[in-house]
Amino acid sequence: MDALSWWGKLVGGAFGFMLGGPLGALLGVALGHNFDRGLKALPDLGPFNAGDRERVQTAFFTATFAVMGNLAKADGRVSPEEIRVAEALMAEMALDAAKRQAAISLFSQGKAEGFDLDAVLDQFRRECHGRVTLIGMFIEIQLQAAYADGQLSKSEDRLLAHICGRLGVSELDYRRLERMIRAQRGFYGQRQGGGSRQGGPAARPKLADAYQVLGVDAQASDADVKRAYRRLLSQHHPDKLVSKGLPEEMMKVAAQKTHEIRQAYERIREARG
């Protein structure tokens, strides 16, 4: 990333946009003692200019890996698959050594005893300023991680429902997102290496899964299918998400989502002639 990115400003010591509160404390530990001392001196800055994208990007990166670590131990143990899916996400983001080390530290802090999940979620929700599509992308990434071992356990499902509630995501929307992620797995199979689709052969979506990805049933009209498709494309558009606060490093993740949505739509169009 160039020097104007959130990471470039962070490592350059530009703490003016940085986080206080629990997210700032987690990031301070992840970045080392010198950063930690600087961050601890900051208050929880509370409301900020909604255009301060770098601060939202920093919060998203921090919360993503810390909450993923907490979710990984929801069923009592952190499985090799869950570790691999976190590593695969880091690879998909093409993190350099410093960012990767920070992400690993955040994941480890999230699975440690005493991690204050609710405080982290509450601050993350404030930092997002009601950006529904951004929070939705966050939940999708966590669902992907939860499905790393091929299934969603009851304990993971309960924790994800709690996470959604804390972030203002309704039960209905959570179930819709869960069905979408499950359907994507259905026609792509388990992601290679626990997380990355890259390098695998192209897969042809199953029709039932394609409808689930778009969130419509097989009886939906052509117009309804097209509306659902366009809405999902807009919600997952990488440039739009980055403008709302998605870290630039996660653009590839968002781009993969739009690819899956297009494939699902094309599968339905083909079936309908």
What pLDDT does residue 65 have?
95
Quote the CA–CA distance of 209 and 190 in Å, as a whole number.
Answer: 14
Sequence-ordered list of residues with C-beta below 8 angstroms from that of 11, at least 6 positions apart, any chain:
98
Give pairs for 176-180: CB < 8 Å, separation 24+: 176/215, 177/136, 177/139, 177/140, 177/143, 178/143, 178/152, 179/212, 179/215, 180/140, 180/212, 180/213, 180/215
| Position 89 pLDDT exceeds 90 | no
Q: Name the range with the highest mean pLDDT among 142-151, 157-166, 247-256.
A: 157-166
Residue 187 lies in a domain: yes
What pLDDT does residue 227 have?
95
Q: What angle do CA 216, 197, 109 make, to 5 degrees?
A: 95
Question: Which residue's entry shows tokens 């992907």?
Answer: 144
What pLDDT does residue 114 have?
92
What pLDDT does residue 8 have?
67
Q: What angle do CA 184, 188, 192 make, to 5 degrees?
A: 115
**Total structural domains within the chain:** 1
Residue 243 lies in a domain: no
Are the C-beta atoms of residues 30 and 58 closer than 8 Å to each other?
Answer: no
What pLDDT does residue 220 have?
93
| Band of pLDDT at residue 10, cut at 50, 70 and 90 | low
Three-state SS at 49: coil
At residue 196, what are phi and psi to the nearest 5 degrees?
-100, 135
| Position 191 pLDDT exceeds 70 | no
Quote the CA–CA distance of 153 and 69 in Å, as a whole number.
Answer: 16
Tell me the mean pLDDT in the region 105-127: 94
Residue 172 lies in a domain: yes
Quote the CA–CA distance of 153 and 65 in Å, as a whole number.
Answer: 20
Of the candidates 188, 212, 192, which has an alpha carbon nearest to the alpha carbon of residue 202?
Answer: 188
Residue 216 lies in a domain: no
| Position 38 pLDDT exceeds 50 | no
Residue 191 lies in a domain: yes
Range of the domain at 159: 6-198
Neighbours of 179 (CB within 10 A): 16
Each residue's pLDDT tens digit, 19-30: 788 998 898 888
Are the C-beta atoms of residues 139 and 163 closer than 8 Å to each other?
Answer: yes
Three-state SS at 192: strand
Each residue's pLDDT tens digit, 52-70: 788 888 999 999 999 999 9
Q: What is the mean pLDDT of the chain?
A: 82
Tell me the mean pLDDT in the region 42-58: 60
Q: Name the range with the highest mean pLDDT among 9-23, 75-89, 152-166, 197-211.
A: 152-166
The amino acid at residue 245 is G
- For residue 243, the cross-strand partners are none
Could you give the C-alpha distances from 222 to 14, 21, 265, in angstroms and in order?
Answer: 51, 48, 11
Residue 222 lies in a domain: no
| Band of pLDDT at residue 223, cut at 50, 70 and 90 | very high
Work out the percent of the chain whose per-residue pLDDT is above 70: 80
Residue 264 lies in a domain: no
Quote the CA–CA distance of 190 and 88 in Å, as a whole number.
Answer: 12
Of the candidates 171, 141, 145, 162, which has an alpha carbon nearest to the alpha carbon of residue 257?
Answer: 141
Residue 175 lies in a domain: yes
Tell me the mean pLDDT in the region 71-82: 82
Element (H, E) at 31: helix 21-31
What pLDDT does residue 188 have?
60
Global pTM reads 0.82
Assigned token pair, 65: 């890996």
Are the C-beta atoms of residues 71 and 156 closer than 8 Å to each other?
Answer: yes
Are the C-beta atoms of residues 146 and 71 closer than 8 Å to each other?
Answer: yes
Are the C-beta atoms of residues 62 and 19 closer than 8 Å to each other?
Answer: yes
